[in-house]
C-alpha cells in the first residue's frame, strides 16, 4: 500500500488533548473530568478531526454499546469533519438512549492557539496573593486559583474584567476556561486575556486549546480574532 493509501489517524496532540479533558481507567474509559474538583464525565465524547475521529466512553457504558458507537464513529466522513453535527448524530443518541435516558448533549468547535497575534497583550497573573482582583464579579473562581494555573486577568481600575485560566491540565496540553464581566463585554478584553494565557502556556512547553459551543458566537469570535487553528469539533452526550 502506497503512502497516499495509508489510513489517516488523528494527530497525537489531539489524542493528548482529549486525554487532558478526562481522568480515565486503564482501558481508556472516562472516569471523571480532569479537574481538581473531579466533575462527572459524559457517557460519550466524540472529537472529529480532519485526520479522523477520536471517541471515548464512560466506565459504566456496556461494552456492546461502546462497540456499536465505535463502528459508527469510524465511518464519520472526513470531508464533514468540521460541520456542526456528526453525520451519525441521531444514531448515537438512539444507541445511548437504549442504555439510559439522554440528559444532555453538547457540541462545539475546538481551537488550538499556535501563534500570538497580540505580542503586546498584557494581563496580570492571578495568584493567592492578589486574589482580591477577582472580587466584584469572579468570586466563584477564587477556590480555583491554586489549581488552574496559568490564571491570567485583564485588570481595569484594580479589578479583573476578563479572565482566562487553565481548567484541564497535563504536561502536553492545557485547556482554557474564559469569562468576561457582563459590564465589560464586546471590548476586546477576552481576546487579550486568552492571548496572554496562550503565551504563558506555550512558555511551559504545552499546547493551548480553546473550546466553545456552537451557540456561543462571541467566543467563536475570540478564536477568529486570535487567528486560532480549528483543531476539530466536539460532541458529547451525558
- The whole-chain average pLDDT of the chain stands at 92
pLDDT in tens, 159-197: 999 999 999 999 999 999 999 999 999 889 999 999 999
Domain presence at residue 88: yes
The answer to whether residues 4 and 38 touch, using CB atoms and an 8 Å cutoff, is no
Domain presence at residue 34: yes
What's the mean pLDDT in 153-162? 96
Q: What percent of the chain has pLDDT over 70?
A: 94
Check residue 83 and give its pLDDT: 84
Check residue 192 and give its pLDDT: 94
The answer to whether residues 21 and 175 touch, using CB atoms and an 8 Å cutoff, is yes
The answer to whether residues 155 and 161 touch, using CB atoms and an 8 Å cutoff, is yes
Domain presence at residue 169: no
What's the mean pLDDT in 38-59? 95
CA distances 27 to 31, 38, 42, 143, 185, Å, are 11, 19, 16, 32, 43
112 phi and psi angles, rounded to 5 deg = -115, 130
Spatial distance between the Cα atoms of 87 and 35, rounded to a whole number of angstroms = 31
Domain presence at residue 84: yes
Domain count, the chain: 1
Spatial distance between the Cα atoms of 188 and 162, rounded to a whole number of angstroms = 9
Check residue 22 and give its pLDDT: 98
Check residue 3 and give its pLDDT: 35
Cell numbers 473562581: residue: 141
| pLDDT exceeds 60 at position 43 | yes
Domain presence at residue 141: no
Sequential DSSP letters for 81-141? TTSSS-TTHHHHHHHHHHHS----EEEEEEEE--S-S-TT---EEP-GGGGGGGTTT-GGG
Domain presence at residue 183: no
Q: pTM (2 decimals)?
A: 0.92
Q: Residue 68 sits in which domain range?
A: 9-112
User: Sign of dihedral through CA atoms 13, 15, 21, 24?
Assistant: negative
The answer to whether residues 43 and 238 touch, using CB atoms and an 8 Å cutoff, is yes
Confidence category of residue 81, pLDDT binned at 50, 70, 90: confident
Check residue 71 and give its pLDDT: 97
182 phi and psi angles, rounded to 5 deg = -55, -30
pLDDT in tens, 1-28: 333 334 456 689 999 999 999 999 999 9
Domain presence at residue 2: no
| pLDDT exceeds 60 at position 208 | yes
Domain presence at residue 187: no
Longest dimension (CA), the chain: 64
Check residue 82 and give its pLDDT: 79
Amino acid at each position: 500500500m502506497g503512502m497516499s493509501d495509508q489510513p489517516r489517524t488523528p494527530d497525537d496532540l489531539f489524542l493528548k488533548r482529549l486525554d487532558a479533558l478526562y481522568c480515565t481507567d486503564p482501558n481508556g474509559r472516562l472516569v471523571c473530568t480532569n479537574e481538581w474538583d473531579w466533575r462527572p464525565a459524559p457517557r460519550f465524547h466524540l472529537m472529529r478531526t480532519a485526520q479522523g475521529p477520536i471517541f471515548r466512553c464512560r466506565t459504566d457504558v456496556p461494552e456492546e454499546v461502546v462497540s456499536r458507537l465505535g463502528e459508527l464513529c469510524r465511518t464519520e466522513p472526513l470531508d464533514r469533519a468540521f460541520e456542526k453535527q456528526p453525520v451519525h448524530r441521531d444514531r448515537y443518541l438512539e444507541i445511548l438512549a437504549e442504555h439510559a435516558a439522554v440528559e444532555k448533549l453538547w457540541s462545539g468547535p475546538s481551537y488550538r492557539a499556535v501563534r500570538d497575534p497580540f505580542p503586546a497583550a498584557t494581563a496580570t497573573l492571578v495568584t493567592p496573593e492578589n486574589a482580591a482582583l477577582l472580587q466584584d464579579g469572579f468570586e466563584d473562581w477564587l477556590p480555583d486559583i491554586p489549581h488552574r494555573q496559568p490564571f491570567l486577568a485583564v485588570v481595569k481600575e484594580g479589578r479583573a474584567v476578563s479572565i482566562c485560566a487553565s481548567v484541564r491540565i497535563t504536561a502536553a496540553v492545557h485547556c482554557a476556561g474564559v469569562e468576561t464581566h457582563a459590564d465589560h463585554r464586546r471590548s476586546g478584553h477576552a481576546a487579550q486575556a486568552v492571548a496572554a494565557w496562550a503565551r504563558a502556556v506555550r512558555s511551559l512547553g504545552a499546547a493551548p486549546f480553546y473550546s466553545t459551543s456552537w451557540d456561543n458566537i462571541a467566543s467563536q469570535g475570540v478564536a477568529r480574532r486570535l487567528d486560532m487553528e480549528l483543531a476539530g469539533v466536539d460532541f458529547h452526550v451525558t
